[in-house]
Amino acid sequence: MKTPPKSNSPAVHALNFTGADLTLDQLDAACHRPLHVSLSNDLWKKIADSRARIERMLAGGGAIYGVNTGFGKLCN
């Protein structure tokens, strides 16, 4: 059984990523306190689409900078 939070514990802040710009005010409100992060369904779809695109590119066997190579001096 979990112990209830102390009364002086900071409140949990919710941050919902939608794919729209994240503002500095949103980040500031989330700093230095417990944070619950969620992603919108639209954003999950974009992530899945991006993964599928990368997997198709990898199936081609070529080098994809930063995916199956390193960055900068490590890219070779």
What pLDDT shows up at residue 51?
93
- What amino acid is encoded at 47 in this protein? I
Give the three-state DSSP class for 38.
Answer: strand
Residue 2 has pLDDT above 60, yes or no: no
pLDDT bin (cut points 50, 70, 90) of residue 3 is low
Q: pLDDT digit string (tens) for 15-40?
A: 888 878 888 888 887 887 888 889 99
| Length of the chain counted residue by residue | 76
- Tell me the CA distances in angstroms from 24 to 2, 27, 45, one per residue in order: 33, 5, 25
Average model confidence (pLDDT) across the chain: 81
User: Sign of the C-alpha dihedral, residues 24, 25, 26, 31?
Assistant: positive
Domain boundaries, the chain: 13-67
Work out the number of other CB atoms within 10 angstroms of the CB of residue 19.
13
How many angstroms separate the CA atoms of 18 and 61, rounded? 33
